Structure 1
Amino acid sequence: MMMLDDFMMRAALAGLGVALAAAPLGCFVVWRRMAYFGDATAHASILGVALALGFGVSVFAGALVVALIMAATVSTLSGRGYAMDTLLGVLAHSALAFGLVAVSFLQGVRIDLMGYLFGDILAVGKTDLAVIWGGAIIVVGLLVWRWQALLTATLNPDLAQASGIDPRHEQLGLTLALALVVAVAIKVVGVLLIAAMLIVPAAAARPMAHTPERMALIATVLAAGAAMGGLPVSFALDTPTGPTIVCIAAFIFALTTGAAAIGRASARG
């Protein structure tokens, strides 16, 4: 029986924690077409990592603060005449570039840049696990608490306004949750792949679900399956674990999308 001291057990628990937080939130990212938003927030977090290492504070805290600043900036600028895809592209890649440049100025600090870019789930410690699961519980708790309001504001902002729900307030809640997921997922899949764990399981679940609640549940199961499947595959093939987990998720997306296409063709025939 593997114990918590076993690195594979810690990696599995970390993968499950990230899946639990990222998958249901990813459904809102897909519904709101916020894929670029997830990318911008994730890319900005590498600047937070560099600043945290430079000032000797927690990497989680640095990534979370910068991700929150990016999320707040994008939310503030949205709806003010800016083309959002262009704005998010500029912010995402600029933040990543500034972060990488800032890392190069760190003297006397050992940093595994590849680990932060692509994740290092096998190096997850007990403290990391506590952070990941603490963040996951907060995100899931927020989604459960505000589920109906978030859903109404996402699917029909006018109806939400008429029902006394402030869509911008709900958007702010989502951006805070997204920043938190980015901060806790860095250790598992890295800043370049966090958006994939938000979007791919949700997109894979979409053809299999007829209700929003069912889509969120299926996405969580698929994300957990990708995390659990990616670990042994990466161990067997000696491949990077974070990218392997995303590859498994992409394979699941191909299967569900292909099956849905075949089903539609059969129904027409």
Structure 2
Amino acid sequence: MLDDFLVRSGLAAVGLCVATGPLGAFVVWRRMAYFGDATAHAAILGVALALLFSLPITLGTLIVAVAMALTVTWLMARGETPDSGLGVLSFGALSAGLVAISFAPGVRVDLASYLFGDILAVTRSDLVLVWSGALVVAGVIIWRWSKLLLSSLSRDLAAAAGLNPTREGLILSMGIALVVAVSLKIVGALLVSAMLIIPAMAARQVSNRPVQMAIGSVLVGWAASGGGLYASLKLDTPAGPSIIVTAALIFVVFSLYRAAVTRN
């Protein structure tokens, strides 16, 4: 069954959503969307470093993504607003990566596959990587759910309860870094943050509790993945962007539903 490329694509998308669903909920609550973008953009620099030093692509991506997470956490611990710094780091790393790739000796690179992903080319080893990373991230979120939630709602309350909000923020940042590293081949650097944000925002429209939103984000991601892959197969459209468009349509439908319920 795993010889069918569409089955492998679907399994990869399902595994990815296991991590991006609950993680995306925290990204929305903490307003970390820009950090997700910056980490995804920096992944291209990781690809370039991996090619230059003959490292596995995932390892190079993970190193740069973790470096980005540590830098942003350090800026926030100093009480600085990281928005401007993230802009410099994000576009600087993306541009540096694109330039560095051109110096990779004897390497021909399909940049589109790293920017937009190629979920239809997922292999069995990719499935193992994606599911391993997703289960690690999901497991950590479940393990530290109450601590992460309290530190997301109020840093002061978290500190009063004996928690370290900076440490909890770093855990989430590392989770984003790991998700970016394992999902680069599936949805690409430019679309991975969309998989974090859009399903979470869609689930937010029909959720009343944090747990509902986290689980709903996973379900929306699964629905978007299935719908996007089906549309890609029938309409011959790019699979990654098709998944994102489907997620965006679900968000619009849920938003209209919420507006109608609120008005009545």
Q: TM-score range by the shorter chain?
A: over 0.9
Residues 249-268 of structure 1 mapped to structure 2, 5 A cutoff = 249-266=247-264
The structural deviation recorded for 1:185 is 1.0
Aligned to 1:149: 147
The structural deviation recorded for 1:81 is 5.7
The structural deviation recorded for 1:110 is 2.4
Aligned to 2:215: 217
- Pick the aligned partner of 1:119 from 108, 117, 120: 117
The structural deviation recorded for 1:201 is 0.3
Aligned to 2:22: 24
Aligned to 2:225: 227
Residue deviations 1:170-195, cap 9 Å, x none? 11111111100011111111000011
Q: Please, which runs of 5 or more residues in structure 1 have no aligned partner?
A: none
- Pick the aligned partner of 1:236 from 234, 238, 242: 234
Contact 2:77/2:166 (<8 A) preserved: no
Q: Does 1:41 align with 2:39?
A: yes
Distance 2:139 2:106 in 1: 40
Distance 1:54 1:155 in 2: 42
Residue deviations 1:58-101, cap 9 Å, x none? 10111011000011111111253644222111111111111111
Aligned to 1:193: 191
The structural deviation recorded for 1:264 is 1.1
Aligned to 1:9: 7
Aligned to 1:107: 105
Distance 2:151 2:71 in 1: 20
- Aligned Cα root-mean-square deviation (Å): 1.0
The 1:156–1:81 alpha-carbon spacing in structure 2 relative to 1, beyond 3 Å, is: closer
State the secondary structure of the residue aligned to 2:144. helix
- Pick the aligned partner of 2:244 from 243, 246, 252: 246
Most deviating of 54-63 and 74-83 = 74-83
Residues 41-190 of structure 1 mapped to structure 2, 5 A cutoff = 41-80=39-78, 82-190=80-188
Q: How many residues align?
A: 264
Percentage identity across paired residues of the two chains: 53
Distance 1:103 1:176 in 2: 25
Distance 1:149 1:79 in 2: 18
Distance 1:71 1:41 in 2: 7
Q: Which runs of 4+ in 1 moved over 6 A?
A: none
The 1:7–1:213 alpha-carbon spacing in structure 2 relative to 1, beyond 3 Å, is: same
AA of the residue aligned to 1:180: L
State the secondary structure of the residue aligned to 1:56. coil
Distance 1:84 1:59 in 2: 28
Distance 2:156 2:97 in 1: 39
